[in-house]
Amino acid sequence: MTSNIHTLPVLHPVAGLRLGTTRAGIKQPDRRDLVVIELCDGATVAAVFTRNAFCAAPVIVAREHRAQTSPQYLLINTGNANAGTGKQGMADALACCDAVAQAAGCAREAVLPFSTGVISEPLQVTAICDAVPAALAALDENGWADAAHGILTTDTVPKGISRKLEIESHKVTITGIAKGSGMIRPDMATMLAYIATDASVPQNVLQACLARAMNKSFNRITVDGDTSTNDACLLMATGQSAATVDQTEGDTFDALCAAVADVCEQLALAVVRDGEGATKLITVAVEGGRDEAECLQVAYTIAHSPLVKTAFFASDPNWGRILAAVGRAGLMNLDINAIELYLDDVCLARDGGRAPDYREESGQQVMDKTDITVRVVLNRGDAMAQIWTCDLSYDYVRINAEYRS
């Protein structure tokens, strides 16, 4: 765990939304592992889900239910992903939705299920259904902190953030929680994230806001390059504030998007800082590309290199590993003599080789930090892109080797 992870900040309630958390005993008997989120009438929901072809049963059900009606309840369990479970997994996800619908007095389709945990094991349906009444009884607008704990798996700390702003003189609150530590390279979502605002926002506008925020936050992080079967991120608007954002352009939309993007970025960074076994947060910035796509191609090649990641864990300024990753990123007609490579502000390489003024002790000073920026200047265009990753430690192997034990 990196040294910059802190305890949860104050998570402000969002009018029109309540959260209830309980212990269902899904994997561990005394762990908070079941969360219900209740939305008021008229609330809108934007969502993005994993594009992993082997997506989990709850992802399929949540997509289908959201297309059929306005969600009233979210049901989130940890300890079991209900993925790779075939037809039985679908039936189990629906059974859990039925349990909420019957206890809360709503339609099954108004319940969206979410699961996280071990893949390919049968869901503990009875335990979840039996615990639903307790989760509903615990519903509280101040339930964010308990819910942040209740959605964790291998995370070492809960992750949450709140922001307050004004839109056209009306006060607006945005609060979000997320979980994620391993199996992190989101593809349209993160492991699990739930963000809410009390602004009044139509669903199409809310979806556009979420898409803009995702592309510079959750979709720019990677711990290990693995996209989960269960990734999901929801942005909910309860409409309880007098602030209204009803267009996908203009000052009010930009203000909302900026605040949501800030919340998403802070949650995304918290996920990387809490990467399984991580000790360092690494920013990889690539500049001077022909387009953003090739900048991201270089950035992810660096971020996913086990040699690069282990060098950061060892605090070893073995920058040749970074240079090698740039060279194998697959860019056409790459002029190696034009590339500049930096650790923070220390230039490591230029003109095709080691920078004449580079000194090993300067590189070591940077590598000894817990927050480090790798900057690659391609000098072949005006595009740029930035992502965040972490190092690869002994503990990553241990955590994943012992995941089912």
Residues near 320 by Cβ (< 8 Å), separated by ≥ 6? none
User: Is the pLDDT at 26 greater than 60, yes or no?
Assistant: yes
Shared fold status for 17-273 and 281-401: no
Report the percent of the chain where pLDDT is more than 70. 98
Q: How confident is the model at residue 6 (pLDDT cuts 50, 70, 90)?
A: low
Exposure pattern of 139-163 as b/e (b: 16+ CB <10 Å)?
beeebbbbbbbbbbbbbebbbbbbb
pLDDT tens by residue, 351-395: 999 999 999 999 999 999 999 999 999 999 999 999 999 999 999
Q: What is the pTM of this model?
A: 0.94
pLDDT tens by residue, 167-212: 999 999 999 999 998 888 877 776 899 999 999 999 999 999 999 9
The domain segmentation of the chain, as residue ranges, is 17-273, 281-401
pLDDT at position 1: 41
Catalytic residues: 190
Candidates 3.90.650.10, 3.40.1440.10, 3.10.560.10, 3.60.70.12; CATH matching 17-273: 3.60.70.12
Residue 170 to residues 39, 205, 237, 247: CA-CA distances in angstroms? 21, 18, 15, 17
Report the percent of the chain where pLDDT is more than 90. 88
User: Is the pLDDT at 157 greater than 90, yes or no?
Assistant: yes
User: Is the pLDDT at 4 greater than 80, yes or no?
Assistant: no
pLDDT at position 190: 66
Per DSSP, 254 falls in state H
Contact 271, 5 (CB under 8 A): no
In 213-361, the DSSP E strands lie at 232-237, 281-289, 340-343, 346-350, 353-354
User: Is the pLDDT at 225 greater than 90, yes or no?
Assistant: no
Q: How confident is the model at residue 300 (pLDDT cuts 50, 70, 90)?
A: very high
Residue 296: what are its φ and ψ, rounded to 5°? -65, -35
Spatial CA neighbour of 93 closest among 106, 80, 104, 107: 80
Average pLDDT along the chain? 95
pLDDT at position 238: 98
User: Is the pLDDT at 109 greater than 60, yes or no?
Assistant: yes
Helix/strand/coil for 184: strand
Q: How confident is the model at residue 3 (pLDDT cuts 50, 70, 90)?
A: very low
Q: How confident is the model at residue 226 (pLDDT cuts 50, 70, 90)?
A: confident
User: Is the pLDDT at 228 greater than 90, yes or no?
Assistant: no
Helix/strand/coil for 280: coil
Q: How confident is the model at residue 332 (pLDDT cuts 50, 70, 90)?
A: very high
How far from the centroid of its chain's Cα atoms is residue 360's Cα? 35
Candidates 3.90.79.10, 3.30.830.10, 3.10.20.340, 3.20.20.20; CATH matching 281-401: 3.10.20.340
How far from the centroid of its chain's Cα atoms is residue 151's Cα? 13
pLDDT at position 224: 87
User: Is the pLDDT at 5 greater than 50, yes or no?
Assistant: no
Strand order in the sheet with 111-118: 17-22, 34-39, 73-80, 111-118
